[in-house]
Amino acid sequence: MFSQKNIVLVISGGVAAYKAASFARLLVKIDATVKVVMTATATEFITPKTMAVLTSQPVLTDLFADKTGESIDHIALADWADYFFVVPATANIIAKIANGVADDAASSVLAARHTPMIVAPAMNENMYLQPAVQRNLQQIKLDGDIVVEPVDGMLAEGYAGKGRLPEPQEILTLSELAVYQKHGQLKDKRIVISAGGTVEAIDPVRYISNRSSGKMGYALARAAAEQGADVTLVSATTQLPDPVGVTTIHIQSAQELSEQMFAMLPEADAVIMAAAVSDYRMSQTAENKLKKQDSGQLHLTLVENPDILAQLGSAKTNQYLVGFAAETQNLMTYAQNKLKKKNADMLVANDVSKNQVGFGYDTNQVTILTKDNEPELLPLQSKITLAREIMKKISVAING
């Protein structure tokens, strides 16, 4: 989103200004070009020299510092920028933005902007909740800009409250999500997605599972949220951070997964079964740890788990149902049969025996099958890029 973009980072004068250094560095690491503008009070918390070293760019603090007259700094910066960030945004700079005040370098650059802006407020909770501050933030939103809300946490005053600046990575993630959502095609749609490999207990210590990492399902949840959908992720893994902007429900077994999916089916517009469901479970889970046998053998009695995708296919009414098929041989034969047998609207098939495809990798290559179209092979690519392609196809299908 922000990679290889020109970004103006405006830093205003609050204690949280120290986080702006990490945020600028984070932008540089994703290959953005960053130019910093600081208010006079911001320079009391962090030096322009620090920001210049971190960004390898000059820092603007004074409109009249350049005596050559070759350019008008605030206009030149506004014309150069692809995006503006105000991190942190004090009550003072928020008021200036909302009311078009331009009385210093930072506010003048902001007044001249004509590209998207993300504002991240940080201040004492009492200041943040003041009606005037909230009114100004609402005006910024009405003007079409993005506000990354502060979080609850320990404030500079020594007590907890809402007003703390989110961590730099969270600001970046929330900003990316908000920019995508402005053009999302799934607003007011509810998407339910499953992810990860289910776990079936043998005893209190051991379990049956599979190699699914959950990365594809998590990427789909992120891509659906970017499209503006109300997304619920039912996850069988705890090894990945919960996606931002998504409601995540953690489960373990196939039975728990089934209960959650069917509970949400009636209100869903689309259901995506990306989870790798264990085919079998113990007929009876041992209450205590099973011990080694004198015979040197241990026999487990397994019973088949319910076919959740097939059951969803039978129960769906107007929901768009997407299934996954991870195979190691005869991919297209199995996938075509699965699409029809499970009554799915789309099937995403991949050959997990190939390098860089499927379980555990950050890349994937799949074939998309639908009832009315020829199979479409998508190239090897990152899972998030692939997820965005899949979500675009789903949005077209459910929007008619």
Q: Which residue has the tokens 């749609």?
A: 189
| Residue 160 scores a pLDDT above 90 | no
Report yes or no on 332 lying in a domain.
yes
Report yes or no on 366 lying in a domain.
yes
Our count of domains for the chain comes to 2
Active site residue 210: yes
Mean pLDDT of 94-102: 97
Please check if 121 is assigned to a binding site.
no
Q: Which of 160, 181, 202 is a domain's end point?
A: 181
- Measured between alpha carbons, how far is 373 from 239 in angstroms, rounded to an integer? 36
Q: Collapsing DSSP states into helix, strand and coil, what is residue 85? A: strand
Tell me: do 170 and 218 sit in the same domain: no
Residues 163-198 pLDDT 10s = 999 999 999 999 999 999 988 999 999 999 999 999
Residues 233-291 pLDDT 10s = 999 999 999 999 999 999 999 999 999 999 999 999 999 999 999 999 999 999 999 98
| Residue 72 scores a pLDDT above 70 | no
Side-chain-side CA neighbours of residue 346 (13 Å): 23
| Residue 154 scores a pLDDT above 80 | no
Residues 189-246 pLDDT 10s = 999 999 999 999 999 999 999 999 999 999 999 999 999 999 999 999 999 999 999 9
Output the six-digit token pair for 130.
């003041």
pLDDT value at residue 256: 97
Within 10 A of 334 (CB to CB), how many other CB atoms are there?
16
* Burial class for 393, CB neighbours closer than 10 Å (0-12, 13-18, 19+): middle
Please check if 165 is assigned to a binding site.
no
Q: Which of 147, 181, 215 is a domain's end point?
A: 181
Identify which of 127, 102, 107 has the alpha carbon closest to the alpha carbon of residue 117: 107
Tell me: do 164 and 212 sit in the same domain: no
Tell me: do 114 and 140 sit in the same domain: yes
pLDDT value at residue 159: 78
Helices 308-315 and 254-264 meet at what angle, rounded to 10? 20
Tell me: do 66 and 162 sit in the same domain: yes
Tell me: do 343 and 216 sit in the same domain: yes
Please check if 372 is assigned to a binding site.
no
Residue of higher predicted confidence among 288 and 63: 288
Return the CATH number at 142. Answer: 3.40.50.1950
Residues 257/196, Cβ–Cβ less than 8 Å: no
Tell me: do 322 and 355 sit in the same domain: yes
To the nearest whole percent, how much of the chain has pLDDT over 70?
98
Tell me: do 243 and 372 sit in the same domain: yes
Q: Is the pTM above the cut of 0.85? A: yes
Please check if 145 is assigned to a binding site.
no
Residues 112-126 pLDDT 10s = 999 999 999 999 999
CA angle (261, 340, 377) in 5-degree steps? 95
Q: Which residues contact 224 (CB under 8 A, 6 or more apart)?
A: 186, 191, 193, 231, 246, 391
Q: Which of 162, 181, 200 is a domain's end point?
A: 181
Please check if 309 is assigned to a binding site.
yes
> What phi and psi values does residue 334 have, to the nearest 5 degrees?
-65, -40
Tell me: do 207 and 136 sit in the same domain: no
Identify which of 121, 52, 58 has the alpha carbon closest to the alpha carbon of residue 86: 121
Tell me: do 226 and 121 sit in the same domain: no
Q: Which of 6, 92, 136, 210 is catalytic?
A: 210
- Residues spanned by the domain of 126: 6-181
| Residue 68 scores a pLDDT above 50 | no
Report yes or no on 100 lying in a domain.
yes
pLDDT value at residue 153: 84
Q: Whole-number mean pLDDT of the chain?
A: 94
Please check if 342 is assigned to a binding site.
yes
Number of H helices, E strands in the chain: 13, 21
Q: How confident is the model at residue 298 (pLDDT cuts 50, 70, 90)?
A: confident
Please check if 289 is assigned to a binding site.
yes
Tell me: do 85 and 219 sit in the same domain: no
Output the six-digit token pair for 164.
């703390």
Chain centroid to CA 323: 22
Return the CATH number at 240. Answer: 3.40.50.10300
Please check if 230 is assigned to a binding site.
no
Tell me: do 159 and 282 sit in the same domain: no
Identify which of 153, 161, 27, 144 has the alpha carbon closest to the alpha carbon of residue 87: 27
Report yes or no on 1 lying in a domain.
no
Please check if 88 is assigned to a binding site.
no
